[in-house]
Structure 1
Amino acid sequence: MAGQYRSRVSGIGSYLPEKVLTNHDLEKMVETSDQWIIERTGIERRHITPEGQATSDLALEASRRALADSKLNPEDIDMIIVGTVTSDRQMPSTACYLQSKLGCRNIVSFDLNAACSGFIYGLSIADQFIRTGMYKNILVVGAEVLHRFVNYKDRETCILFGDGAGAWILSRANEGDNQVIHSSHMHADGNLAELLTLPGGGSLVPPSQAVLDSNMQYVSMKGREIFKNAVRAMAQCCQEALEANNTAPEQVDWIVPHQANKRIIEAVADQFKFPMEKVIVYLQETGNTSSASIPLAFDWAVQTGKIKRGQTILLTAFGAGLTSGSILLRY
């Protein structure tokens, strides 16, 4: 365990439920329009999980695809980390359900709640375990069934969120392999926690009829403040990653940001004069899928031939907390 190893992305996979909720569908549910949504967010549709399916079911499909891509078997996995804010239940963790459904060994499995930054946080943790030599193959998943926590009478939030899952397998790199994670950088500013929250259902405001009557079981967001702080946090995290690796923006092949709002993404890219042609944008198809958004966008970019092996990629995210993070890697 004493050695210093590096981790590489050995496999990726993603999954979107088949059912689609378009902007035109939302026009029939709340006072909004397709044009209004696209102009303000860039979102055209989002995917909705059918009744009876849980977050672990979406995670299972994405994980199976990541395993196939890595040419590994479930018994090869040493740890499972699931980033989610919509776990199957308060307890046990979604990761434990996933471990059982995949047929993995009796391995450490846990959920991580860093909201939309959850996948970045999970990758960073997995990277540390591989660097120490403790584990060789770690499954990191971002998975959400967010539509069940959205008030479809609130046009500020219901237009934004969708369901989906993405999974990566980090593996110990061979000596001399340069396709590795270079560094990760994570932050949280709890002073801004109330800007994006799900007020009811926790220990502070436990489940009750009063919670349901006041719609406290749904996501609550202060959009303008979130926008301003998201741009600031993501830009700072990107700058931190570039400086830590003595890398100029033009040396980065692609930025894969959290897919929350196209205007936020454009504002972050503008901070570095980074051309939008080199920024992966997939939110038109998915909406904001929280912790699943980066692996979903990344997998789509690989499948469509944009991202290729050997390229330098910068991941960046922000989320409720307010959490933020970035990772620089060579894929």
Structure 2
Amino acid sequence: MGTAVVTGIGSWLPPRAVENAELANRLGSSDEWIRTRTGVRRRHVASAGMAVSDLAVEAGARALKSAGGGEADAVVLATATPDHPCPATAPDVAARLGLWSTAAFDVAAVCSGFVYALAAGTGLISAGIARRVLVIGADVFSSILDPDDRTTSVIFGDGAGAVVLRPGDPAEPGALGPFDLGSDGAGAGLITVRAGGSRQRLSGAEPGPREHFFAMAGKAVFWRAVQQMAQSAGAALDRAGWRPRDVDRLVCHQANQRITDHLADELGLPRERALSNIADVGNTAAASIPLALDQARAAGRLRPGDRVLLTAFGGGLAWGSVTLRWPSLGDGAGGAAAGAGEGERDA
């Protein structure tokens, strides 16, 4: 059977960068406290009037340019911060990219959303429904963060990344290998926005003043993230016939630098093989993996032929992993993404 092959990539960050000092002064914290606990030095934040669709359009346009331009038969947008609860944001993104009458839908799997969207795009191609799929991960978490909660407001940033998929052979560069996906709804309360959905609206109770904000049980999530990504990554490696030592680059969801380090240890990989850009962009949720891939490619830290393992964990709880051998891709920067390539480093 054929599979989906990555044939283009692009990313975009809002121009405004917020340094730790700006947040530390307001939260009564310090740059050192933030860096040692999260690995974040700065993050990009959407300006007033900006929405996730704006970021997605920019990243999507760059990915299409990288793929040589042209159309897409489907647009799959992974986001936890859509422009509106209804309708989905993907159709608007498709229209603004000039992709008229294109199938378009959102995937809501929070920080694991991009891996789920890749699986959906691969399914569309494998089923013969689409021949070219634009897969985007984009989030503006600044829109749902409690500005007074220093456990979350210092971690997250806004951004978008995208890839273009086409049909291909499983043995060729860029082919997405076997996926591993999973979830555990019993842990839904660990990562959540409690208000705004049908359960809260139909409960008859008014939401509390902070229930419209994102909340996360950090300590519990930390170890669940490491354990579930390690298990999922191991399953994807087994299905691909790879051993951990075969992996040239580990690209996990950029949740926290310590999570990345512990995950590499769990997999038996040298930490320097784990790509990280969290220092300069923070946790960009569904955008984190494609952003890290594009910035690593631009910086020369991800080269054609590299064996790459992608893995993510997020709200739901949901997780997923997939392998690929990195292809040679065109540059879709075209007015380079804000901060693209800046500070991207090996963990």
TM range (shorter): over 0.9
2:18 to 18, 21, 24: 21
What is the CA–CA distance in structure 1 between the aligned matches of 2:259 and 2:172, rounded to whole Å? 34
Partner of 1:285: 280
Deviations 1:51-85 (A, max 9, x none): 11110000000001001100022xx2000100001
Match of 2:193 in 1: 198
Structure 1 residue 243 displacement after superposition? 1.0
Equivalent of 1:35 in 32, 35, 57: 32
SS of the aligned residue for 2:151 comes to: helix
Q: Which amino acid aligns with 2:41?
A: E
Q: Which letter does structure 1 place at the counterpart of 2:125?
A: I
TM-score w.r.t. length of structure 2:
0.91
| Mapped pair 1:312 → 2:314 | no
- Residue type of the partner of 1:324? W
Alignment of structure 1 residues 125-204 onto 2, 5 Å: 125-173=120-168, 177-204=172-199
In structure 1, the residue corresponding to 2:234 is in which secondary structure? helix
* Pairwise CA distance, 1:178: 4.4
- Corresponding position of 1:107: 102
CA offset at residue 5 of structure 1? Answer: 2.0
Selected match of 1:263 from 258, 264, 267: 258
CA contact (8 A) 2:112 2:286 kept: yes
What root-mean-square deviation, in Å, do the aligned CA atoms of Structure 1 and Structure 2 show? 1.6
Q: Which of residues 206, 209, 213 in structure 2 aligns to 1:214?
A: 209
Residue type matched to 1:28 in 2?
N
> Is the alpha carbon distance of 1:228 and 1:175 closer, same or farther for their aligned partners in structure 2, counting shifts above 3 Å?
closer
> Contact between 2:170 and 2:176, CA under 8 Å: does it hold in 1?
no
Please report how far the alpha carbon of residue 133 of structure 1 lies from its aligned counterpart in structure 2 after TM superposition: 2.4
Letter in 1 for 2:69: L
Pair 1:45 & 2:42 matched: yes
Amino acid at match of 1:43: V
2:323 equivalent to 1:321: no
Whether 1:64 and 2:66 are equivalent positions in the alignment is no
Please say if residues 12 and 65 of structure 1, whose CA atoms lie closer than 8 Å, have aligned partners that are also in contact.
Answer: yes
Q: Secondary structure at the match of 2:222?
A: helix
Structure 1 pair 291–237 and aligned structure 2 pair: CA distance change class (3 A): same
Taking the aligned partners of 1:203 and 1:54, their CA distance within structure 2 comes to 23
Asked if structure 2 preserves the Cα contact closer than 8 Å seen for 1:258 and 1:318, the reply is yes
Q: What is the alpha-carbon distance in structure 2 between the residues aligned to residue 206 and residue 176 of structure 1?
A: 49
Distance (whole Å) between structure 2 residues aligned to residue 53 and residue 148 of structure 1: 10
Counterparts of 1:175 and 1:311 in 2: how far apart (Å)?
A: 15
Is the deviation greater in 127-136 or in 176-185? 176-185
Cα distance in structure 1, aligned partners of 2:227 and 2:275: 19
For the 8 Å contact 1:136–1:172, the answer to whether it is kept is yes
- Distance in 2 of aligned mates of 1:260 and 1:32: 20
Q: Give the aligned partner of residue 7 of structure 1.
A: 4
Amino acid at match of 1:296: L
Shift in alpha-carbon separation, 1:163–1:176, aligned structure 2, 3 A:
closer
Aligned to 2:298: 303
Match of 2:52 among 36, 50, 55: 55
Structure-1-length-normalised TM-score:
0.95
CA contact (8 A) 1:200 1:216 kept: yes
SS in 2 for 1:10: strand
The CA distance in 1 between the partners of 2:104 and 2:142, in whole Å, is: 25
Q: Which whole-Å CA distance do the structure 2 matches of 1:175 and 1:215 have between them?
A: 47
Hey, what's the Cα distance between the residues in 2 that align with 1:126 and 1:175? 15
Q: Is the partner of 1:194 in helix, strand or coil?
A: helix
Q: Is the contact made by 2:7 and 2:165 (CA closer than 8 Å) also made in structure 1?
A: yes
User: Match of 1:71, SS?
Assistant: coil
Q: Note if contact 2:142-2:157 (Cα within 8 Å) is conserved in structure 1.
A: yes
Shift of 1:206: 2.8
Distance 1:195 1:174, change over 3 A: closer
| Farther off after superposition, 269-278 or 118-127 | 269-278
Amino acid at match of 2:49: G
Count of aligned pairs between the two proteins: 325
Deviation, structure 1 residue 179:
3.5
Supply the distance in 2 between the matched residues of 1:300 and 1:215 (Cα, whole angstroms): 35
Aligned partners of 2:28, 2:215: CA distance in 1, in Å? 18
Q: Report the CA distance between 1:132 and its aligned residue.
A: 2.4
Q: Deviations over 1:293-313 (max 9, x none)?
A: 000011000000011122211
Alignment of 1:75-86 (within 5 A): 76-86=71-81
| Shift of residue 22, structure 1, vs aligned partner | 1.2
Residue-by-residue CA offset, 1:8-45 (whole Å, 9 max, x unaligned): 10000000001011110001211211101111110111
